[in-house]
Amino acid sequence: MKEQEDSALVALAVDGDQRAFRELVERHQARAFRTALSILKHEDQARDVAQDAFVKIYTKLPEFRGQAAFTTWLHRIVSNLCIDRIRKTKRHGEVEYDDARSHGPQTAASGSTLASVYLDGPGRALERSELREQMGRALESLSDSHREVLVMREVDGLSYEELAEALEVAKGTVMSRLFHARKKFMNAMSGYLHAR
Amino acid sequence: MKTLALAITITLLLIPVASSAAEPERASFDVTVIDAKKTPGEVDPKLEHLKDVLQRSFKGYKSFRQVNRAKFSVIEGETHTTTLVASQELKVSLNPGGAKGFLKVRLVSGDLKTTIDVKDGGLFFQAVRGPKGAALVIAIRATRVVKSRAR
Amino acid sequence: MNCEQIQEHIGAYRDGELDTSTRASVEAELASCETCQAAYRELEALEALVERAVLEPAASVELTGFTDEVMARIAVETSVKSPAPERSHESLFDRLAAMLGLDARSLVMAGALAAAAIAWGVWPAAQVTSPTPEDVVRAAEGPSKSPANPSDKVAPRPRRGMELETASAGRNAASVQQVEVAHGRVVIDDNADDPDRPVVVWHIVGEEVDPKADVSP
C-alpha cells in the first residue's frame, strides 16, 4: 500500500485532519518508543514519554516548516523529553557520578574500554534497566547532534545515506560525526560501568 | 442520534488516510549468517550482538561462527539479493499488506520460500540443518524506515 | 591511510558503508594492528549493549492502544482549559466521554457501532484490516459488562471497544504466514518454552531427526 509522505500528513494534520495525525502516530510509534528506551530506564516510562512526544508534536505542528525530516524532528523531541526526565530525577538526590568519569582522558588512562567492562567484565551481568540507566546518562552527556546520529544509527538502523538525508548533511559528515559520537559514548559508558 | 454521529466520527478516526501515491514502505535489514556446530567451541567475538539469543534459541549448539553479515534497505515491491555463503543466496522482499507495526517479509533461499510478519524492529531466525547436525543460521532483523524528505 | 585515519573508518567498515578499495585497506590494517582490532571490538561491545538493553526488549513490547491513548490525550488537552493532571483517578475514557457530553456507555456503543459498520462494509474499508467476527463481538460486548458503573473495569484503556486489529503475532516478534519447500521439511520453533526468544524457522534436509529434541538441553 502506497502511503503519503510524512510531510504531506503533517500538512493535513495542521489543517485539523485528525486521521492524518493518527497515521503519523501509527507510523512512528515503534521508533519513538525505541528512542525513548535508549535513554530511559523503564519500559513504561519510555512508553509514556513517547506518547508525550506525540502530544507535544500535535501542539507544535504549525511550527514544523520542514527544515529537517519529520523523523529527525520526532527524534529530537523524544530525546529532549527523555533527557528532561532524567535530569529531574538527578536533581532529586540521585548519586552523581564524578563528572570527570564521563570524559575521555580519565577512562583512557585507567585502561577501561567498553569491551573490557561490558563484554569481558561485570557489565554484562547487569540488568537491562541498569544498562539503560547508564546509557541514559552517557547519551545525556553527548551533544544533540552526536546523540541523534548515534541513536538513529544504532537504534533505528539507518544507513549512512538515509542518515545523510534525514540530517541534511553529507555522507562524509555522517561518518565522522558517528565516529566521534561513538567514541564519546563509549568513553562515558565505560566510565559509568567501571564505577559500579 | 448523537451516538450515531459519534459513531461516524469514531469510524472516520479509525479509517487510515486514503492514499494518493507517494512514499512506499521501506525497511532496513540486518542479516547475519552463522555457522553453528554442536561440537565444543566458542561464540565468534563478531557475534556479541547476537550471543544471548543464539545461545537461548539454539541450545544444543556450542560453537557459532559468523560467516557473513549484510545490512541493506528494501523498498516495497523490490527484491534484494544477499549472499549467505559462497554458493547460496537469500532473496529478501518486502510485501504490502503487513498489519500495523509489522513488516511482511518474503524470503527465498534455495527451495525454501517463507513469508513472515515481523514486528518493526523484530528479530527472527531461519536455519538450515544438514546432515551431521551442523546448521547454517540466518538471523534477520527488520526495521521500518520512513523516508521523510520534507520537501 | 595511516593508522589513525583507518580507525576513523573502522565504524564505516563495520557498517558496510565503505567502497571496495577503502574496505580492502581497512581489512589489511585490521589483520595486523592491535589498536585497530581493539577499536573494532569496541564497536562490537556497543552494538551488543544496544541490542541487549534496547532492541531486544523493544521488539517484545506490544504498543497496543498507544495511538488511541495519544488521540484521547490530545482531545482532552485541546478542549479543556486547565491542563489535565498527570495522574487522575478518572480514566481517560471517562474524561473523553465527559468532554463529548455522553456517558461512557454511549461512547462504547458508538465504538462498537463503528466496528460493526466497518465489518459490514458500510464505510469504505479497503485499507482497514477487516476485523474478525471475534473482534466485532469483543468490541460490542467487552466493556458493556458493567453498564452501571462505566469507570469500573472499563478504565483505563479506552481502546477496548475500538480495537480492530486482528490478533497480532502475540508476544513473538515474528509470525510465520506461509512456507513452501520442495524438499526436506520445515519445523517452526515458536518458542513455547521461552516466549521472549525469537522464532526459528528450521529447514531440515537429509535427516529424520526432530530438531527440537536435539536442541533442548
- What digits encode the pLDDT tens for the residues A136-194? 999 999 999 999 999 999 999 999 999 998 898 999 999 999 999 999 999 999 988 88
Phi, then psi, of B139 in degrees rounded to 5: -95, 130
Report the C-alpha gap between A170 and B132 in whole angstroms. 50
**How buried is residue A90: exposed, middle or buried, by Cβ count under 10 Å (0-12/13-18/19+)?**
middle
Nearest chain C alpha carbon to B6: C110
The CA-based dihedral angle spanning residues C103, C107, C109, C111, taken in that order and rounded to the nearest 10 degrees: 180
| Nearest by Cα to B33 from B69, B81, B86 | B69
Contact A32, A78 (CB under 8 A): yes
Report the C-alpha gap between C60 and C170 in whole angstroms. 9
pLDDT tops 60 at residue C146: no
Q: Across the interface, which of B53, B69, B70 has its CB nearest the CB of C197?
A: B53
Residue C107 or residue B97, greater confidence = B97
Nearest chain A alpha carbon to B95: A1
Strand bridging mode C200-204 / B122-129: parallel
C77-127 pLDDT, tens per residue? 877 644 444 444 455 555 555 555 555 444 444 444 444 443 333 333 333
This prediction has a pTM of 0.67
Whether ipTM > 0.90 holds is: no
| C100: contact with B, CB 8 A cutoff | yes
The average pLDDT across C23-35 equals: 92
Interface of A with B (CB under 8 A): 1-10, 12, 17-20, 22-23, 26-31, 34, 64, 66-71, 119, 156-159, 162, 165-166
| B77: contact with A, CB 8 A cutoff | no
Considering only CB atoms, which chain C residues are within 8 Å of A135? 49, 53-54
**Domains in chain A, CATH or no CATH each:** 1-94 (1.10.1740.10), 98-196 (1.10.10.10)
Contacts made by residues C71-77, CB under 8 angstroms, sequence distance 24+: C71/A18, C71/A21, C71/A22, C71/A25, C71/B13, C72/C96, C72/C158, C73/A51, C73/A55, C74/A21, C74/A55, C74/A58, C75/C99, C77/A55, C77/A59
Q: Chains touching chain C at 3 or more Cβ pairs under 8 angstroms?
A: A, B
B50-89 pLDDT, tens per residue? 998 999 889 889 999 999 888 888 998 889 999 888 888 9
| C174: contact with B, CB 8 A cutoff | yes
